[in-house]
Chain A
């Protein structure tokens, strides 16, 4: 198990190569929480990606420091949501500007579609993501 603190604000790209982390059973209940990094690793109004066996998951941090996780695939044509502009509790897809609710993963009307959401927790500034088996 790697320590997450190791990749706080490291300046060089090469050192930021992502860590391979194995899921573990946490004390936070029966859920399969995986420690993935620190709140500070995601810029405010920004996003980072976690690569999983089942595809990319985008983590978003709103201006008031709430964290959300969605599949990094826009329900429209698969655009990478992590690259969009985050505003309020929403993100605008970079490809054709669908607006997706970070809370529900649903596209904001009139568009219809859903980006699957994932459970994420922040405890003492450390991020935990629930990865379903």
Chain B
């Protein structure tokens, strides 16, 4: 290499620092010459898994995240076991205690934090340990296995997350363990009093002893057999208890001494801005040592977010900002299910929802403000933890599910997944992902073997929850249970796909504001990281451009999934299905006759009545498609778009024309609606139904848009979903005339088209934005509704060309014919 590379020095060989390097290498593998200093003699390991090592469930080797060879392969110089004692910012050099000095162009400080050692007499005695590193754990294990002492008693000072995990581990190693805690209940930062009480009782059952509301005054020692040893502990109130080992788990403090001594601005932590830069522009910092917007963090998930942002700036992409994280917690004690997130101590303007079932040992508390979740505490049954956490972060309006929310997602009609038992107690053989046949045991094993942290990684390696997604919550719970904490990548800001850091909203906004009208232009302007996107962003971008610039943007069929590209549904054997549109489900003998003739002509193996009131011709070869379409078009049919993210069917019932109960012409209205809406592209498929009376034979209440006819008019329902997770529609409003039904339908569809994320059906979209919002835009704001409707009709002008007709006439002919035959 001719040019000298930029030199990056990292202080801290721990989880946040190395994660930053991993992210950096992904983006810009050759930009830096990297040197890492680590005070610990080991390579980077997963600190979170110290607890399973202590409890004997894992070995150290299993927790190594980057082994020695990783550093070598990536040309990283690692100084393991070397503590940096000086940063010379004038000369841009770091120095270690034993005289190694390395110059830098960029510096990354990731020194983590230090355990707080209470300043009480006796703190220096051998046998007083912190709980932070593998070294600490090895000492604890040695003490527990010490054969020279008959009775081995450990006292853990601090009843927080770390203290309890230490206590549980030592107890499993056969020690007699007591926990001393300042507050009235353990884990007061994660649990309220009731939850804390339940936890305490469970841990007592397992043999732990609690000394609550106690303050340690001194650690007592004596000379025993020529050795100075711990003998016990004295509280402020004078009581003394015996001890052979004392673990300090009274909290952590950001490790900022080094940064401070170099004159870098620190408060509680090293102060950084949204790009993870310190007050010295050459110096970045990530991890527990950092203070960002007054906040410090002690869990991995936010640190990994920070790592991503820091790497983005080190790689000079300069696009991402860290805006803080909300965190959730999970205690890693096997068999105890506990989850907490957000702010769970209700203030005066908050409401509280409670569920307590002593017999099942279940306790749940949700804290709400303005019908949005602010915090959650759960004990005993935590399957829904990730679900609540997701809604908390998304700011989901929960008005509509308020009555059932405490019972969990399963009670909102999650068919097939109801009553999912506690994840921890679930046997390994339980099938978690029905689509891909993945069992719990496989997921746990893969998480541990492959050292996974995020839902995305679990999806990639196991395929669990990568298809229909209905088991996502369960997979997240298993992940949380296996590694602790919540690592889902659905963070406050969720990038569209790995090709960009921008969210769906940001991309849609940029398309409108910066008038981006083609995909190459969009990718160039928004600094796409890949040459031409991927299978996940391209279809989304194509849709966004299409919906933003009707009549202007040229649909890019190379960015469509196969079904939409060839206008037919691909089947498992590579053949296709053909579903002609049957308006409102009404057909005629002559139509049926032509379908029958065409089916025979092309030797269609299966003719089936679909669940959507039309006819499916299955098993057609690709080469036959254009010919068959030509025949269908000649017989008066258009494509049913059974393949598209677009209007699918409009189901109707017989209605007033025949039915003795019918109140309106539901069939006729359905056909009118279908004639207006067919051909429209939508973020996901869109289904409509019109029922002639409240008996609702067309199942209007599980459609994206449903109309229920009554004597006095038409009741409009929106946001229903059959399928994977059944959701009944929300009642939107009632109108008097068919014209109004058409207007509300067009306006609602347009709002959905303009604002939902690609691949969001109306149900999850409405759950996210809230029914109140949709009502405001479509019902209350009459002028706004008229505008939406007008925009819908305008864009329909360009989308009601029948794709089958065009293709039967030769468009995209190359899609349907082989390039050559070679004998």
Q: Which of B455-504 contact A (CB under 8 A)?
A: 460-461, 466-467
Shortest Cβ distance from A38 into chain B, in angstroms?
9
- Give A90 to B813 CA distance when docked, in angstroms: 24
Is B816's CB within 8 Å of the partner chain A? yes
Q: Which of A9-34 contact B (CB under 8 A)?
A: 10-13, 16-23, 34
Asked whether B558 lies within 8 Å of A46 as measured between CB atoms, the reply is yes
Is A83's CB within 8 Å of the partner chain B? yes
Is B72's CB within 8 Å of the partner chain A? no
Asked whether A20 lies within 8 Å of B460 as measured between CB atoms, the reply is no
Asked whether A41 lies within 8 Å of B819 as measured between CB atoms, the reply is yes
Asked whether B818 lies within 8 Å of A13 as measured between CB atoms, the reply is no
Contact of A63 among B531, B565, B627, B817 (CB under 8 A): B531
Asked whether B817 lies within 8 Å of A17 as measured between CB atoms, the reply is yes
Q: What is the size, in residues, of chain B's interface with A at 8 Å between Cβ atoms?
A: 36
Shortest Cβ distance from B533 into chain A, in angstroms?
6
- Could you mark each residue 549-581 of chain B with 1 if its beta carbon is under 8 Å from any beta carbon of chain A, else 0? 000000000111110011000101010000000
- Among residues of B, the one whose C-beta sits closest to the C-beta of A72 is B574
Is A126's CB within 8 Å of the partner chain B? no
Is B532's CB within 8 Å of the partner chain A? yes
Considering residues A10, A12, A77, A110, which has the most beta carbons from chain B within 10 angstroms of its beta carbon? A110
Shortest Cβ distance from B336 into chain A, in angstroms?
32
- Give A122 to B570 CA distance when docked, in angstroms: 31
Asked whether A19 lies within 8 Å of B820 as measured between CB atoms, the reply is yes
Contact of A53 among B466, B572, B822 (CB under 8 A): B822
Asked whether A45 lies within 8 Å of B819 as measured between CB atoms, the reply is no
- Give A11 to B559 CA distance when docked, in angstroms: 22
Is B823's CB within 8 Å of the partner chain A? yes
Known: A16-B813, A41-B819, A53-B822. A85 touches B535 (CB 8 A): yes
- Could you mark each residue 788-823 of chain B with 1 if its beta carbon is under 8 Å from any beta carbon of chain A, else 0? 000000000000000000000010011011111111
- Give A7 to B682 CA distance when docked, in angstroms: 36
Shortest Cβ distance from A24 into chain B, in angstroms?
11
Asked whether A87 lies within 8 Å of B530 as measured between CB atoms, the reply is yes
Provide the residues of chain B in CB contact with A99, threshold 8 Å. 535
Contact of B530 among A21, A83, A84, A88 (CB under 8 A): A88
Contact of B821 among A10, A19, A77, A83 (CB under 8 A): A19
Asked whether A18 lies within 8 Å of B823 as measured between CB atoms, the reply is no
Provide the residues of chain A in CB contact with B626, threshold 8 Å. 13
Known: A13-B627, A84-B562. A50 touches B532 (CB 8 A): no
Is B538's CB within 8 Å of the partner chain A? yes
- Give A56 to B822 CA distance when docked, in angstroms: 10
State the 8 A-B residue pairs at the shortest beta-carbon distance, nearest first: A92-B535, A48-B819, A94-B562, A45-B558, A83-B562, A85-B535, A11-B810, A36-B820
* Residues in B lying within 8 Å of A, measured CB to CB: 450, 460-461, 466-467, 530-535, 538-539, 558-562, 565-566, 570, 572, 574, 626-627, 810, 813-814, 816-823
* Residues in A lying within 8 Å of B, measured CB to CB: 10-13, 16-23, 34, 36-37, 41-46, 48-53, 56, 59, 63-64, 77-80, 83-88, 90, 92, 94-97, 99, 110, 129, 131
